[in-house]
Amino acid sequence: MHIAEGFLPPWHAAAWTAVAAPFVIHGARAVVREVRERPETKLLLGAAGAFTFVLSAIKLPSVTGSSSHPTGTGLGAVLFRPPVMAFLGTVVLLFQALLLAHGGLTTLGANAFSMAVVGPWAGYAAYRIATRAGAPLLVGVFAAMCLADLATYVTTALQLALAFPDPVSGFLGAATKFLGIFALTQVPLALAEGFLGVLVMRALTQVAAPELQRLGLIKPDVAQEKIDA
Protein backbone atom coordinates (compact mmCIF):
# COMPACT_ATOMS: atom_id res chain seq x y z
CA MET A 1 0.00 0.00 0.00
CA HIS A 2 3.03 2.29 -0.07
CA ILE A 3 2.69 4.62 -3.02
CA ALA A 4 6.29 5.27 -4.06
CA GLU A 5 7.92 8.66 -3.63
CA GLY A 6 6.97 11.05 -6.42
CA PHE A 7 4.37 8.67 -7.83
CA LEU A 8 1.39 10.93 -7.23
CA PRO A 9 0.99 14.08 -9.32
CA PRO A 10 1.77 17.17 -7.18
CA TRP A 11 -1.81 18.31 -6.66
CA HIS A 12 -2.94 14.79 -5.74
CA ALA A 13 -0.08 14.60 -3.24
CA ALA A 14 -1.05 18.00 -1.80
CA ALA A 15 -4.75 17.14 -1.63
CA TRP A 16 -4.17 13.82 0.22
CA THR A 17 -1.78 15.54 2.60
CA ALA A 18 -4.45 18.16 3.33
CA VAL A 19 -7.06 15.43 3.86
CA ALA A 20 -4.88 13.30 6.13
CA ALA A 21 -3.34 16.12 8.19
CA PRO A 22 -6.35 16.88 10.43
CA PHE A 23 -6.74 13.18 11.29
CA VAL A 24 -3.06 12.86 12.15
CA ILE A 25 -2.99 16.05 14.26
CA HIS A 26 -6.18 15.01 16.03
CA GLY A 27 -4.57 11.59 16.52
CA ALA A 28 -1.41 13.09 18.05
CA ARG A 29 -3.57 14.98 20.54
CA ALA A 30 -5.51 11.79 21.27
CA VAL A 31 -2.23 10.00 22.08
CA VAL A 32 -1.13 12.81 24.42
CA ARG A 33 -4.54 12.80 26.13
CA GLU A 34 -4.51 9.01 26.47
CA VAL A 35 -1.09 9.04 28.13
CA ARG A 36 -2.08 11.88 30.46
CA GLU A 37 -5.48 10.54 31.47
CA ARG A 38 -4.75 6.83 31.62
CA PRO A 39 -1.00 6.47 32.21
CA GLU A 40 -1.44 2.82 33.15
CA THR A 41 -2.38 2.02 29.55
CA LYS A 42 0.95 3.39 28.27
CA LEU A 43 2.36 -0.11 27.88
CA LEU A 44 -0.62 -1.22 25.81
CA LEU A 45 -0.23 1.89 23.68
CA GLY A 46 3.40 0.93 23.09
CA ALA A 47 2.33 -2.61 22.29
CA ALA A 48 -0.25 -1.42 19.74
CA GLY A 49 2.30 0.83 18.03
CA ALA A 50 4.95 -1.88 18.07
CA PHE A 51 2.51 -4.39 16.57
CA THR A 52 1.96 -2.12 13.56
CA PHE A 53 5.70 -1.50 13.36
CA VAL A 54 6.49 -5.23 13.13
CA LEU A 55 3.70 -6.20 10.76
CA SER A 56 4.26 -3.43 8.24
CA ALA A 57 7.92 -4.48 7.95
CA ILE A 58 7.19 -8.05 6.97
CA LYS A 59 6.25 -8.87 3.39
CA LEU A 60 4.42 -12.15 3.10
CA PRO A 61 3.77 -14.32 0.06
CA SER A 62 0.20 -14.64 -1.18
CA VAL A 63 -1.80 -16.87 -3.51
CA THR A 64 -1.47 -14.45 -6.42
CA GLY A 65 2.27 -15.10 -6.63
CA SER A 66 3.17 -11.69 -5.30
CA SER A 67 3.87 -10.59 -1.78
CA SER A 68 2.59 -7.83 0.41
CA HIS A 69 2.64 -6.76 4.02
CA PRO A 70 -0.08 -6.65 6.68
CA THR A 71 -0.79 -3.35 8.42
CA GLY A 72 -1.53 -4.31 12.02
CA THR A 73 -3.61 -1.18 12.65
CA GLY A 74 -6.80 -3.02 13.64
CA LEU A 75 -5.56 -4.01 17.09
CA GLY A 76 -4.73 -0.46 18.15
CA ALA A 77 -8.01 0.80 16.68
CA VAL A 78 -9.94 -1.66 18.87
CA LEU A 79 -7.86 -0.90 21.98
CA PHE A 80 -7.57 2.87 21.71
CA ARG A 81 -10.02 3.94 18.99
CA PRO A 82 -8.94 4.95 15.49
CA PRO A 83 -7.56 8.49 16.10
CA VAL A 84 -4.65 7.09 18.12
CA MET A 85 -3.76 4.84 15.19
CA ALA A 86 -3.89 7.78 12.79
CA PHE A 87 -0.85 9.10 14.62
CA LEU A 88 0.96 5.80 15.31
CA GLY A 89 0.44 4.57 11.74
CA THR A 90 1.82 7.81 10.32
CA VAL A 91 4.92 7.52 12.51
CA VAL A 92 5.54 4.05 11.03
CA LEU A 93 5.06 5.39 7.48
CA LEU A 94 7.43 8.30 8.16
CA PHE A 95 10.09 5.90 9.43
CA GLN A 96 9.76 3.81 6.28
CA ALA A 97 9.77 6.83 3.98
CA LEU A 98 12.92 8.31 5.53
CA LEU A 99 15.01 5.24 6.29
CA LEU A 100 13.83 2.60 3.83
CA ALA A 101 12.86 4.69 0.80
CA HIS A 102 9.58 2.78 1.06
CA GLY A 103 6.66 5.08 0.43
CA GLY A 104 7.70 8.71 0.46
CA LEU A 105 7.31 12.19 1.86
CA THR A 106 5.25 13.48 -1.07
CA THR A 107 3.00 10.42 -0.82
CA LEU A 108 2.95 10.36 2.99
CA GLY A 109 -0.46 12.05 3.08
CA ALA A 110 -2.05 9.51 0.73
CA ASN A 111 -0.38 6.57 2.46
CA ALA A 112 -1.31 7.87 5.91
CA PHE A 113 -4.91 8.30 4.75
CA SER A 114 -5.14 4.67 3.62
CA MET A 115 -3.15 2.91 6.34
CA ALA A 116 -3.58 5.19 9.34
CA VAL A 117 -7.07 6.66 8.76
CA VAL A 118 -9.29 4.45 6.57
CA GLY A 119 -7.81 1.15 7.80
CA PRO A 120 -8.27 1.79 11.53
CA TRP A 121 -11.76 3.27 11.06
CA ALA A 122 -12.89 0.34 8.90
CA GLY A 123 -11.45 -2.10 11.44
CA TYR A 124 -13.07 -0.29 14.35
CA ALA A 125 -16.43 -0.22 12.55
CA ALA A 126 -16.18 -3.96 11.91
CA TYR A 127 -15.35 -4.55 15.56
CA ARG A 128 -18.28 -2.44 16.77
CA ILE A 129 -20.75 -4.08 14.41
CA ALA A 130 -19.56 -7.57 15.33
CA THR A 131 -19.64 -7.02 19.10
CA ARG A 132 -22.96 -5.12 18.92
CA ALA A 133 -24.41 -8.16 17.15
CA GLY A 134 -23.34 -10.22 20.14
CA ALA A 135 -20.09 -11.65 18.80
CA PRO A 136 -17.37 -12.33 21.38
CA LEU A 137 -14.46 -9.90 21.76
CA LEU A 138 -12.04 -12.13 19.85
CA VAL A 139 -14.37 -12.43 16.85
CA GLY A 140 -14.60 -8.65 16.84
CA VAL A 141 -10.81 -8.39 16.91
CA PHE A 142 -10.52 -10.85 14.02
CA ALA A 143 -12.98 -8.79 11.96
CA ALA A 144 -11.17 -5.58 12.87
CA MET A 145 -7.76 -6.87 11.83
CA CYS A 146 -9.02 -8.27 8.50
CA LEU A 147 -11.04 -5.23 7.57
CA ALA A 148 -8.36 -2.70 8.57
CA ASP A 149 -5.88 -4.54 6.37
CA LEU A 150 -8.18 -4.94 3.35
CA ALA A 151 -9.63 -1.43 3.51
CA THR A 152 -6.13 0.04 3.50
CA TYR A 153 -5.23 -1.71 0.25
CA VAL A 154 -8.57 -0.96 -1.41
CA THR A 155 -8.03 2.72 -0.57
CA THR A 156 -4.55 2.69 -2.10
CA ALA A 157 -5.93 1.10 -5.27
CA LEU A 158 -8.61 3.80 -5.56
CA GLN A 159 -6.11 6.58 -4.86
CA LEU A 160 -3.90 5.32 -7.69
CA ALA A 161 -6.89 4.92 -10.01
CA LEU A 162 -7.86 8.56 -9.34
CA ALA A 163 -4.34 9.74 -10.10
CA PHE A 164 -3.75 7.46 -13.07
CA PRO A 165 -7.06 6.72 -14.82
CA ASP A 166 -6.69 4.29 -17.68
CA PRO A 167 -6.26 6.09 -21.06
CA VAL A 168 -9.02 3.88 -22.51
CA SER A 169 -11.26 2.61 -19.71
CA GLY A 170 -10.88 5.58 -17.37
CA PHE A 171 -11.14 5.51 -13.59
CA LEU A 172 -13.10 2.26 -13.42
CA GLY A 173 -10.66 0.41 -15.62
CA ALA A 174 -7.73 1.67 -13.58
CA ALA A 175 -9.53 0.84 -10.32
CA THR A 176 -10.08 -2.73 -11.52
CA LYS A 177 -6.43 -2.98 -12.47
CA PHE A 178 -5.07 -1.65 -9.16
CA LEU A 179 -7.59 -3.63 -7.11
CA GLY A 180 -6.39 -6.69 -9.03
CA ILE A 181 -2.84 -5.95 -7.93
CA PHE A 182 -3.62 -5.15 -4.30
CA ALA A 183 -6.92 -6.50 -3.07
CA LEU A 184 -6.81 -10.15 -4.13
CA THR A 185 -3.24 -10.57 -2.89
CA GLN A 186 -4.30 -9.13 0.42
CA VAL A 187 -7.17 -11.53 1.19
CA PRO A 188 -5.13 -14.44 2.65
CA LEU A 189 -2.80 -11.96 4.34
CA ALA A 190 -5.75 -10.19 5.94
CA LEU A 191 -7.01 -13.53 7.26
CA ALA A 192 -3.55 -14.38 8.60
CA GLU A 193 -3.44 -10.96 10.23
CA GLY A 194 -6.85 -11.64 11.76
CA PHE A 195 -5.63 -14.85 13.41
CA LEU A 196 -2.47 -13.11 14.59
CA GLY A 197 -4.54 -10.34 16.13
CA VAL A 198 -6.62 -12.93 17.98
CA LEU A 199 -3.42 -14.53 19.32
CA VAL A 200 -2.15 -11.19 20.61
CA MET A 201 -5.52 -10.26 22.10
CA ARG A 202 -5.72 -13.60 23.91
CA ALA A 203 -2.29 -12.94 25.37
CA LEU A 204 -3.45 -9.46 26.42
CA THR A 205 -6.57 -10.76 28.16
CA GLN A 206 -4.24 -13.04 30.12
CA VAL A 207 -1.67 -10.45 31.15
CA ALA A 208 -3.47 -7.12 30.96
CA ALA A 209 -7.04 -7.72 32.09
CA PRO A 210 -7.30 -4.62 34.35
CA GLU A 211 -5.90 -2.41 31.60
CA LEU A 212 -8.40 -3.83 29.11
CA GLN A 213 -11.17 -3.15 31.62
CA ARG A 214 -10.08 0.46 31.89
CA LEU A 215 -10.31 0.68 28.12
CA GLY A 216 -13.81 -0.79 28.29
CA LEU A 217 -12.99 -3.87 26.25
CA ILE A 218 -13.81 -6.50 28.81
CA LYS A 219 -16.18 -6.53 31.73
CA PRO A 220 -14.80 -6.95 35.26
CA ASP A 221 -16.33 -10.41 35.75
CA VAL A 222 -14.79 -11.65 32.53
CA ALA A 223 -11.45 -10.25 33.64
CA GLN A 224 -11.70 -11.99 36.97
CA GLU A 225 -12.50 -15.24 35.24
CA LYS A 226 -9.43 -14.86 33.05
CA ILE A 227 -7.23 -14.11 36.04
CA ASP A 228 -8.53 -17.14 37.91
CA ALA A 229 -8.22 -19.42 34.91
Partner 1 sequence: MRRHLVTVALALAVILLVALPLALNAAGEFGGTDGAATAAIESSHPHYRPWFAPFFAPESTEVESGLFALQAAIGAGVLGYALGVLRERRRHRPVSPATTATAATPDGDAATSAGPTP
Site for partner 1 in 36-55 (CB under 8 A): 39-40, 43-44, 46-47, 49-55
Q: At what angle do helices 73-80 and 137-163 cross, to 10 degrees?
A: 120
Does position 95 interact with partner 1 (CB under 8 A)? The reply is yes
Q: By C-alpha distance, which of 138, 177, 141 is closest to 157?
A: 177
Does position 25 interact with partner 1 (CB under 8 A)? The reply is no
Where in 130-169 is the site for partner 1 (CB under 8 A)? 153, 156, 160, 164, 166-167
Residue 81 or 213 having the CB closest to partner 1: 213
CB of 148 to partner 1, least distance (A): 16
Residue 98 contacts residue 54 (beta carbons within 8 Å): no
| Choice from 62, 129, 139, 215 touching partner 1 (CB under 8 A) | 62
Distances (CA, A) of 37 to 32, 40, 59, 88: 9, 9, 36, 18
Where in 106-125 is the site for partner 1 (CB under 8 A)? 106
Q: Tell me which DSSP letter residue 41 carries.
A: G
Residue 22 or 46 having the CB closest to partner 1: 46
Residue 76 CB coordination number (10 Å): 30
Does position 223 interact with partner 1 (CB under 8 A)? The reply is yes
